[in-house]
Structures are given as structure tokens and as C-alpha cells.
């Protein structure tokens, strides 16, 4: 069977290597957790490896996240060149969505979002309309997330970023509502229902592969999809911001046991919790046209497709048995399509896509830090000792 971790490799993105780097970084980060106590805070180390980091300060649970858009801004530039369509509002909005949707996964609601706009040349901003659309989209994303735009940074990085492009990223702080605990998967149990909430298309993952496919097409981003829409414009459909739905869930009496933002790794993200449980999906969502086109042109088998793109599921909500339809109803009030897609089962850590006869094993997704031994912690925190001079 195709290794799902290598499906993106042809586009220059090796998730296996990236995940290993992430684990190493998180392992080192664990060693800094005690420092929060010096500011009367407490690190919630159970959140390490989750989409956002959770910490306690002054009796309040807060969350922090940093996220980026990836290479989708390059697609926006190509669409402007090929089709004469300015959609930098869409990629700015997508960046905010990527940030706040991750933040919401731990049961936190966004308070403040900061922006990071890095260009390869300061004259990127000389195209006034492009800049205006970028700022408009970021502001609208913050409004839809219910978050204040606090500020940010806009460095010019010649030779590090292409002079033609802009790198979009940002950070956010959120708060866990009073009376709620952060959602970190500890309450997950066999019998829990899994609700899928629909995506709008590509969202903020898979752009490098989409660019590779576009480069192979004779008409590139002008290529017509079966519906008649251009490939480029479909790629730039705005992502969905799920913060409003998560707020509804947290302010309800429903038992929500986990939340997963389906981005990189596709439906592998269903087993992000560090638990020995099986996640069986019995009903997959309709696949957006642009993703079907990408999968076909990239010649991805189902196992690779569903571990690369969101394939129609932008967010997954794990709830207590019998609560799934109520979650679907809350989503519908927000204008979001949702359905009860599967359930949590006792068994090994794995994802089963029953309709496709695809199984992802525990080793296909490992984002957890390695806990250092006390000796490791002491050796890293101890000051360096002077070395004796060599004697002849």
C-alpha cells in the first residue's frame, strides 16, 4: 500500500521528516515548562503535541498558537498573473482561519490575533490594491473569529523570501471559558461519536502539491473544472472559520471530548489524541470539486489522498454517545454542513475509513514529544562547568 507519509514528497514536502523535527522541538520545549511557575503560571504539558499550547495564569486557562499559510500566497500571485483576479483577501482570511481553528481545538476561544507578513522586497506593497485586499481579508477573518487584531510584524527578507512573494503567518492567544477544562482528549472513550464539519475546498493545506499540478496543466490556473470554474479561483475559495461553532459547543451542555482541525496529514489527524483508541469513519463527506480534480491529476490512491488533503472534512468534533445529531444541528444554525461520520472504538490507535477499506496505523502519525528523564532535565538546566587545563 502507498505510504501515506510520502504522498506529498513529490512536491517537496516530507511530513515524516517534518514530524520528527516537531517531536524533537517539543521534547526540548518540555524542559522549559517549570519556568512558568516563576511568573505564577503553570504549563499544561498534556497539551504538548496538540494544535495549541495551554497554560494557566491567575486561575485562568489560556492557549497560544502560531500558524502559517504555507505556499498558498504563491497561488494567489499566479492567479493574479494568469487570470487578472486579485484574491489576496482570500489568502489573508485563510491564514487567520488556520490560526484560530488550531487554537479552538483545545477548547479555547480566540482573544487576540497578530499578523506576520514577510516579503522578499519592500516594494511588494507598491501594488496598492493588492495590499488593501490583503489587509481587508485579515480584518474580516478576525471579525469572523471574534478576535481583536493586535498588530504584528512585516519584515523584508531579501534572499530568504522571493521578491515576488509574501509569506503569511500569525499567532493568537485564546481563553478557555470559565467552568470549562481545556479539551485535550483525556475524556475520549469507546462509543463517542465523531461529527465531520464540511470544508470549503483546499483550505491551507496541500498548496505545494496544487502548484505542482498546475505547472503540469497546459492552461495552468486557467484550466476549467467540470463545473466551468477556473482551477485557480477554486483553489482560492476561502477557508471556513469554525470558531463560532466551537463557541456554541462550549457554551452548550454537550459533552465535547475532542476537536480536530483537519489540515496537514488529512484524516490521519483523527488519531492525533495520544490514546490507544480506534477511530472508525463509516460515512465520508462529499469531496469538493477542486480536491477531486487535484487527486485525479496527481494520481493519488485513496490512502494517499485522504492523508494529504482534507477531502471535504475541515473539522472533526468528538462528542458523547447520542450527542452527534445535536452537534450537527448547531453546525446547521451556523450554515455549516455536518454529519455524524463515525465513532470511537476500543482497540489499537488507528483510523479506519470503512468505505475505502483504508487503515492508517499508529506509526503514520506521531506528533508527541519524548519525555526526558530527570537526569536529562538536570543536565540541560545545569550551568556549564569549567574545564581543567590540559597538563603535559
For residue 372, name the pLDDT band (cuts at 50, 70, 90): low
* pLDDT at 382 exceeding the cut of 50: no
Q: Calculate the alpha carbon distances from 188 to 176, 313, 361 in Å.
A: 19, 20, 18
* pLDDT at 353 exceeding the cut of 90: yes
* pLDDT at 130 exceeding the cut of 70: yes
Please give the share of the chain, as a percent, with pLDDT higher than 70.
Answer: 88
Please tell me the distance from the alpha carbon of residue 317 to that of residue 336, in angstroms, as a whole number. Answer: 13
* pLDDT at 132 exceeding the cut of 80: yes
Ramachandran region, residue 98 (left: φ > 0; alpha: ψ -120 to 50; beta: rest) = alpha
For residue 19, name the pLDDT band (cuts at 50, 70, 90): low
pLDDT of residue 28: 83
Please tell me the distance from the alpha carbon of residue 54 to that of residue 104, in angstroms, as a whole number. Answer: 11
Say which residues have a Cβ less than 8 Å from residue 349's Cβ, sequence separation at least 6.
271, 275, 276, 277, 278, 361, 362
* pLDDT at 377 exceeding the cut of 70: no
* pLDDT at 247 exceeding the cut of 50: yes
For residue 20, name the pLDDT band (cuts at 50, 70, 90): low
Three-class secondary structure of residue 137 per DSSP? helix
Overall average pLDDT of the 132-137 stretch: 98
Say which residues have a Cβ less than 8 Å from residue 291's Cβ, sequence separation at least 6.
201, 202, 309, 310, 311, 312
**CB 134, CB 89: distance < 8 Å:** yes
For residue 10, name the pLDDT band (cuts at 50, 70, 90): low
pLDDT of residue 368: 65
Question: Does residue 216 or residue 17 have the better pLDDT?
Answer: 216
DSSP one-letter code for 356: G
Overall average pLDDT of the 195-224 stretch: 97
For residue 218, name the pLDDT band (cuts at 50, 70, 90): very high
* pLDDT at 23 exceeding the cut of 70: no
Give the bridge partners for 151, in sequence order. Answer: 114
pLDDT of residue 88: 98
- Burial of 289 from C-beta contacts in 10 A (0-12 / 13-18 / 19+): middle
For residue 373, name the pLDDT band (cuts at 50, 70, 90): very low
| Tens-digit pLDDT profile for residues 338-352 | 999 999 999 999 999
Q: What domains are there in the chain, each with its CATH number?
A: 4-369 (3.90.650.10)
Please give the share of the chain, as a percent, with pLDDT higher than 90.
Answer: 82
* pLDDT at 151 exceeding the cut of 50: yes
Mean pLDDT of the chain: 90
pLDDT of residue 8: 52
Please tell me the distance from the alpha carbon of residue 184 to that of residue 197, in angstroms, as a whole number. Answer: 19
Overall average pLDDT of the 190-213 stretch: 97
pLDDT of residue 16: 65
pLDDT of residue 381: 44
221-224 own/partner pairs: CB under 8 Å, 24+ apart: 221/75, 221/78, 221/79, 221/82, 221/83, 222/82, 222/83
- Write down the pTM of the prediction: 0.89
**Does the CA dihedral 144-148-151-153 come out positive or negative?**
negative
DSSP one-letter code for 219: T
Provide the grid cell at 109: 476561544
pLDDT of residue 147: 98
For residue 384, name the pLDDT band (cuts at 50, 70, 90): very low
For residue 264, name the pLDDT band (cuts at 50, 70, 90): confident
| Tens-digit pLDDT profile for residues 52-97 | 999 999 999 999 999 999 999 999 999 999 999 999 999 999 999 9
**CB 245, CB 336: distance < 8 Å:** yes
Overall average pLDDT of the 276-291 stretch: 98
Overall average pLDDT of the 206-217 stretch: 96
Amino acid at each position: 500500500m502507498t505510504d501515506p507519509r510520502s504522498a506529498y514528497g513529490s512536491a517537496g514536502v516530507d511530513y515524516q521528516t517534518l514530524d520528527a523535527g516537531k517531536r524533537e522541538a517539543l521534547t526540548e520545549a518540555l524542559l522549559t515548562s517549570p519556568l512558568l511557575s516563576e511568573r505564577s503560571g503553570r504549563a499544561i504539558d498534556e497539551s504538548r503535541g496538540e494544535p495549541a499550547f495551554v497554560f494557566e495564569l491567575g486561575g485562568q486557562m489560556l492557549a497560544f498558537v502560531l500558524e502559517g499559510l504555507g505556499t498558498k500566497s504563491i497561488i494567489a500571485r499566479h492567479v493574479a498573473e494568469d487570470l487578472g483576479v486579485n484574491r489576496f483577501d482570500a489568502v489573508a482570511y485563510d491564514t487567520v482561519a488556520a490560526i484560530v481553528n488550531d487554537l479552538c481545538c483545545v477548547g479555547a476561544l480566540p482573544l487576540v490575533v497578530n499578523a506576520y507578513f514577510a516579503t522578499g522586497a519592500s516594494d511588494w506593497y507598491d501594488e496598492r490594491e493588492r495590499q488593501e485586499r490583503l489587509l481587508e481579508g485579515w480584518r474580516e477573518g478576525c471579525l469572523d473569529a471574534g478576535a481583536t487584531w493586535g498588530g504584528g510584524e512585516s519584515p523584508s527578507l531579501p534572499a530568504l523570501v522571493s521578491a515576488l512573494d509574501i509569506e503569511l503567518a500569525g499567532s493568537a492567544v485564546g481563553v478557555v471559558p470559565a467552568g470549562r477544562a481545556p479539551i485535550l482528549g483525556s475524556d475520549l472513550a469507546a462509543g463517542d461519536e465523531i461529527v465531520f464539519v464540511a470544508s470549503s475546498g483546499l483550505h491551507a493545506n496541500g498548496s505545494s502539491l496544487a502548484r505542482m499540478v498546475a505547472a503540469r496543466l497546459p492552461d495552468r490556473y486557467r484550466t476549467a473544472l467540470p463545473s466551468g470554474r477556473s482551477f485557480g479561483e477554486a483553489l482560492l475559495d476561502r477557508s471556513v472559520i469554525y470558531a463560532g461553532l466551537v463557541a456554541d459547543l462550549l457554551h452548550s451542555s454537550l459533552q465535547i471530548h475532542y476537536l480536530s482541525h483537519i489540515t496537514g496529514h488529512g484524516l490521519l489527524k483523527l488519531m492525533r489524541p495520544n490514546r490507544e483508541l480506534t477511530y472508525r469513519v463509516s460515512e465520508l463527506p462529499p469531496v469538493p470539486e477542486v480536491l477531486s480534480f487535484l487527486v485525479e491529476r496527481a494520481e493519488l490512491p485513496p490512502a494517499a489522498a485522504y492523508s494529504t488533503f482534507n477531502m471535504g472534512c475541515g473539522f472533526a468534533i468528538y462528542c458523547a454517545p447520542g450527542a452527534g445529531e445535536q452537534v450537527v444541528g448547531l453546525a446547521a444554525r451556523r450554515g455549516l454542513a455536518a454529519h455524524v461520520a463515525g465513532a470511537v472504538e476500543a482497540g489499537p490507535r488507528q483510523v479506519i475509513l470503512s468505505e475505502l477499506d483504508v487503515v492508517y496505523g499508529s506509526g503514520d502519525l506521531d506528533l508527541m514529544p519524548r519525555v526526558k528523564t530527570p537526569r536529562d532535565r538536570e543536565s540541560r538546566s545545569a550551568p556549564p562547568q569549567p574545564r581543567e587545563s590540559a597538563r603535559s
